[in-house]
Structure 1
């Protein structure tokens, strides 16, 4: 057994699973009966077999082996459970001989739970007349699907549930005859079983990890297209499945999916390896989507889109999530990480190449600008905490892994891949990736295997310069000092809290400088920074920009005067450059290496900006400043006035109406500016929002453009009090729009009193809001400084009920706590949170609590340091009079 991993004994290895599920109860107790026949190799003689099982009853087990001279069958004399480690031990009275192939047969009972993990049920309300065989209760109908990553296949059937214990799978399931069953492979046959039921069996899968196995059944229908490329002489069927009545909303995902399968087959130089691609919309889903091989499952808002009724921002989300999950069909499924510590290999790469594919399909969306303002800034935020972790983080037990499905694995991982691809050249980088996939297909690989392939393709020592980025915690800030004709640069660890201790600043990162200089902003090629300090000579310092297009994963600390100079020549900068400058300036202020007044002065230069992504970063950075100082009424009012002045001209110019020639980014800018202006009291915007809101409530469905619902609902609630709150809450309950529930939940957080905030929380936790969406409730209230305290008070008062409701799926509970609590800027609140959880079992969300604590401490220090100087600046510039 490996010393640094708590893994199953190595004496038995699976080869193939044949799983059969029958007698599925369509209501309480939601049980099913199962048998699994596992072809195993017994590597050494043993009297026991240990495998994974959780929330299962194992009825019996036996091993049949053929040792050559004679066949034998031995029944397990005892079956014992280790609940904590989710294992079962099968003990036999006689020794099982070493055998290249024995058959382990287990009969068992499982539960189709409602925890969004394992084999589970999802409730929904049908939009059309459903089939008769659909399971239902008084209020809801149900569909059934699986979610096995990271370690929940063991909830559905007994198995060897570790990523490098790959096997093939045969699967069959008994379901009502008018329903549809799906799995990773195509249907092999259907045969009649008991009255009104059929058994559907599927072709054998390729060799793969247990977490990628999937099945689903329900009242499904589909739309279909085919790849344009030929695979073994045929185009592959690509389908989007939904519950009946929703399939037309899968068109955007379908149009994207078949193109992306062909594109990845081309750039990875390996044909998509399965005979079909199915995408399934699942009504209750803890994550965004799951890359099960050949049967990819999605949260509804990540795969469905209504051309006429959806907010346009979901168009971007759907195309990206489809691309991300399809990337996994090669990177993760065909080649799988060796162990969970290398999760980032799957997620970091799929995130980068997912955006790369979106850029290929929609070059007008400027996805790399979006990546810098969303993905990179979020990665910076988490990685600048002392409680961060390396990209490749040691995982001893598979049960720990859920907490590292976070912004470090996904977003920092993808950011450093983007940095590396930019340095090597994307063509060279993708050749290395293709070589890696070919070398390790149908098996497992490590980070070093990827670096070796990239080193060979590029002729550079990728391992040596990427290792600190992967195995060390944190990232650097590059501080620049100017002299005529030269730049001195120094790298040091960046922490939001500032005050970096010498022992925290030992890493020397390899940093590609990406320098543009001179009147035409030309590329001034310079070697990467590979020491703590260096000087670059012969630089035209009349104009320069470090970290061009923000491809390097580091902050840049420029001399204050240089920031002011750059704000006067914004036209020389790319969208990514502008976003990077704003994000860096704001982060440096939080850390005490810059100041809030410097940021506010810099942001005034963006008053004529036209790009949505730049505005998004400007208003996000300004929102952070406003949130930190929100408890001081004078400063808060001054910052509101400042924001109003900043956005007024752009808001007035862009107007309310969507023209036929408006592109995607223009529409998003309109929604952002109207929302911001409405919430800071722009009189004509507030009046227009209230007018449209009233018309909407009076029955004019077209009074509010789908992309402006969030802006109008938030403005109406902020200004309309109890009546507007109740009207939007009713809209939440009655909306038929696929994104309507998410939009109304976010808007309801704009309430202005503790009473309404508490009412909203009671409503949400009273069974009206799906468990998967409760974090949106906490986040929307936490973002509203006026009622932030109400969330923490509610958590304290109702903790046992919250723990019980969310605790069946720790991903959901951790996300709710983190998003509800991390916006505070008070040392007292941080102490209160620490004290409250000090005597509780915080297993499964302890990392989230550490992030909350560290974030609040940094916020509190920032508030204490910058409050008075911000007040002085606002006074001096006439914002507090």
Structure 2
């Protein structure tokens, strides 16, 4: 609801794009693991409560409602909610009651569709193959490990064509649709599914991007990366398709591509082809944005900071230049301060310099940026220094996650993180008692720290596992296996 209201009153902010980058991306990723859960979960104990309020509950839940609104029709969906609220005012109600009211107002099988989407884990992907004047569609469950599943869903399809849009419910494993004037499946990314096209269809779509919305373009690049990770798309084809977006001007799409390139860098930071591709993209986009201008959109300001942070990680010269602004950090543009702090950590490599600045800044946001940058300082001496700051209360307890997350993904610190992982988990568990936060940190860092030592990582995690972090461990190990397979194809 928050995103809908902001989109209505401030359309220039493109807040739906922010929803896609955060809520939707997180839900797509987590729900493509085998260790996932349905939206509708039977809660039996406090540990379950702590672990299920995640990207599935919030991100997938919101995306499914968005899909059903599109399927039912905006006005019909609104009428269904109104009748539901009227009928059950001051009474108890269930989710099924809501679906029945939307079904009544729209005349579409909402209840059947919703039951399939909220009671089951996972989501589908659809392959699209040209066959004469038809497009052959086939669905199956999407899993990042690349395995095949024959599951099917009732999928509300939005078929975008030149000058029109069709709505079709795909209830079978396979179906054909008319190829005439076809632009793209899943118009405006209204559905919670991915689409893999054959090469001919990709070329047609990429040649018609002027007819696609920024959400359509975001969906294309998001799906391409997912198919790269799962082994359904070769790295050279991914790079080729992404090259069509080198001149992209929409912030949501640029943020998505730059995040993908950063993730690939974290997996294979010595891959020269990958580094060149990422550096070229980041520099081209920063050149397009230029320096900050009067009246510039907030989205451009945020994007410049994100691109600068990612470029600093792979370009020592850029980091050196950016680090010169560290002494005047508080007077710099707020959205550039994360990039400046990271650049200072990478260029100076001096934990005391960052600690001195940490003691002086007044903004909690600036403190978190410096703490996060400290995770990129190399070596055990820096780690021990930061632990002392934590023990002395000079780093707030709630901010330690920012340090440990950066420490775990920094290529130079992965051996260090592996050795001290039990200490990291112990410290996290002391601070975030009874929550899933330590498990979520493990999910985030294990997939990088464990690269090249899967067996040892499993043994270590088995020794420190507890019910509250068990799910995070399982997700981290599953993601580690996925990353190991991806590395073989880069």
Which of 381, 390, 393 matches 2:41?
393
- Deviation of 1:787 (Å): 1.6
Cα contact 1:391–1:409 (8 A) shared by 2: yes
Residue in structure 2 matched with residue 794 of structure 1 by the alignment: 420
Change beyond 3 A, Cα 1:840–1:737: closer
Higher relative contact order (CA closer than 8 Å, sequence separation 6+): 2
**Alignment-derived partner of residue 456 in structure 2:** 832
Paired residue secondary structure (1:514): strand
Aligned to 1:272: none
Query: Which residue of the other structure, out of 155, 159, 168, is the alignment partner of 1:527?
Result: 168
How far the C-alpha of 1:803 sits from its partner, in A, is 6.2
2:454 corresponds to 1:820: no
Give me the whole-angstrom Cα distance separating, in 2, the residues matched to 1:567 and 1:755. Answer: 50
2:286–2:304 CA contact under 8 A, matched in 1? yes
1:561 is displaced (CA, Å) by: 3.8
The 8 Å contact of residues 379 and 416 in structure 2, kept in 1 or not, is answered as no
**Distance in 1 (alpha carbons) for counterparts of 2:424 and 2:296:** 47
Is it true that 1:434 corresponds to 2:82 in the alignment?
A: yes
Aligned residue among 210, 213, 222 for 1:574: 213
Change (3 A) 1:717 1:482: same
- Cα distance change, pair 444–397 in 1 and its aligned pair in 2 (3 A): farther
Closer/same/farther in 2, CA of residues 450 and 729 from structure 1, 3 Å limit:
farther
Q: 1:688 to 1:803 in 2, by over 3 A?
A: closer
2:72 pairs with one of 424, 427, 432 = 424
Which of the numbers 687, 693, 696 marks the counterpart of 2:326? 693
* In 2, Cα distance between equivalents of 1:846 and 1:440: 39
Would the aligned equivalents of 2:123 and 2:192 in 1 still touch at CA under 8 Å?
Answer: yes
Separation (CA, whole Å) in 1 of partners of 2:487 and 2:194? 21
The alignment partner of 1:513 has SS state of strand
Q: Is residue 156 of structure 2 the alignment partner of residue 512 of structure 1?
A: yes
Could you tell me which of 266, 289, 295 is aligned with 1:661?
Answer: 295
**Following superposition of structure 1 onto structure 2, how do residues 378-777 of structure 1 map, counting pairs within 5 Å?**
378-500=26-148, 504-506=149-151, 508-517=152-161, 521-540=162-181, 544-630=183-269, 633=270, 635=271, 637-656=272-291, 658-681=292-315, 683=317, 685-694=318-327, 696=328, 701-702=330-331, 704-722=332-350, 725-753=351-379, 755-757=381-383, 759-761=385-387, 763-764=389-390, 767-777=393-403
Structure 2 CA distance for aligned equivalents of residues 804 and 601 of structure 1: 44
In the alignment, the residues of structure 1 paired with residue 173 and residue 388 of structure 2 have an alpha-carbon distance, to the nearest angstrom, of 53
Sort the Cα spacing of 1:826 and 1:650 in 2 relative to 1 into closer, same or farther, 3 A.
Answer: closer
Matched-pair contact (CA < 8 Å) for 1:641–1:680: no
Q: What number of residue pairs does the alignment pair up?
A: 490
Seen in structure 2, the aligned counterparts of structure 1 residues 804 and 496 have a Cα distance that, compared at 3 Å, is closer
Checking the alignment, whether the CA contact within 8 Å between 1:674 and 1:711 is kept in structure 2 is yes
User: 1:740-778: per-residue Cα shift (whole Å, max 9, x none)?
Assistant: 222222222332445434543554465433332222222
The structure in which a higher percent of residues are strand is: 1
User: 1:260-293 CA distances to partner (integer Å, 9 max, x unpaired)?
Assistant: xxxxxxxxxxxxxxxxxxxxxxxxxxxxxxxxxx
Q: Corresponding residue for 1:810?
A: 435
Q: Give CA-to-partner distance per residue, 1:168-218, whole Å, 9 cap, x none.
A: xxxxxxxxxxxxxxxxxxxxxxxxxxxxxxxxxxxxxxxxxxxxxxxxxxx
The whole-number CA distance in structure 1 between the counterparts of 2:380 and 2:199 is: 41
Q: Distance in 1 between matches of 2:246 and 2:316?
A: 16
Structure 1 pair 758–446 and aligned structure 2 pair: CA distance change class (3 A):
farther
| TM-score, structure 1 as length reference | 0.53
**Cα 1:738–1:836 shift into 2, 3 Å:** closer
Give the structure-2-normalised TM-score: 0.93
d(CA) in 1 for partners of 2:206, 2:150: 31
Residues 754 and 790 in structure 1, CA contact (< 8 A), matched pair in contact too: yes
The CA deviation at 1:470 is 0.5
CA deviations 1:274-318 (Å, max 9, x no partner) are: xxxxxxxxxxxxxxxxxxxxxxxxxxxxxxxxxxxxxxxxxxxxx
Give 1:849's aligned residue: 473
Within 5 Å, which residues of 2 pair with 1:183-222? none
Distance 1:495 1:754, change over 3 A: farther
Q: Give 1:591 shift.
A: 0.8
Aligned-residue CA RMSD (Å): 2.4
Q: Moved runs in structure 1, 4+ residues, more than 6 A?
A: none
SS of the aligned residue for 1:535 comes to strand
Superposed CA offset, 1:360-387 (max 9, x none): 2321111112222222111011000000
**Structure 1 contact 671–707 (Cα < 8 Å) conserved:** yes
Give the C-alpha shift of residue 666 in structure 1. 1.6
Residues 588 and 499 (structure 1 numbering): CA distance in 2 closer, same or farther, change over 3 Å?
A: same
Q: Deviations over 1:221-241 (max 9, x none)?
A: xxxxxxxxxxxxxxxxxxxxx
Distance apart, 1:687 and its partner CA = 5.0
CA distance in structure 2 between the aligned counterparts of 1:466 and 1:639, rounded to whole angstroms: 41
The CA deviation string for residues 404-443 of structure 1, in whole angstroms up to 9 with x for no partner, is 0111000011111111111212232222223323333444
* Greater share of helix: 2
Q: Using the alignment, how far apart are the partners of 1:766 and 1:568 within structure 2?
A: 58
1:783 matches 2:409: yes
- What are the equivalent positions in structure 2 for 1:335-346 lying under 5 Å apart? none
The alpha carbon displacement at 1:532 in A equals 0.5
Report SS of the residue matched to 2:356.
helix
**Unmatched 5+ stretches in structure 1:** 1-352, 871-881
Q: Deviations over 1:6-51 (max 9, x none)?
A: xxxxxxxxxxxxxxxxxxxxxxxxxxxxxxxxxxxxxxxxxxxxxx
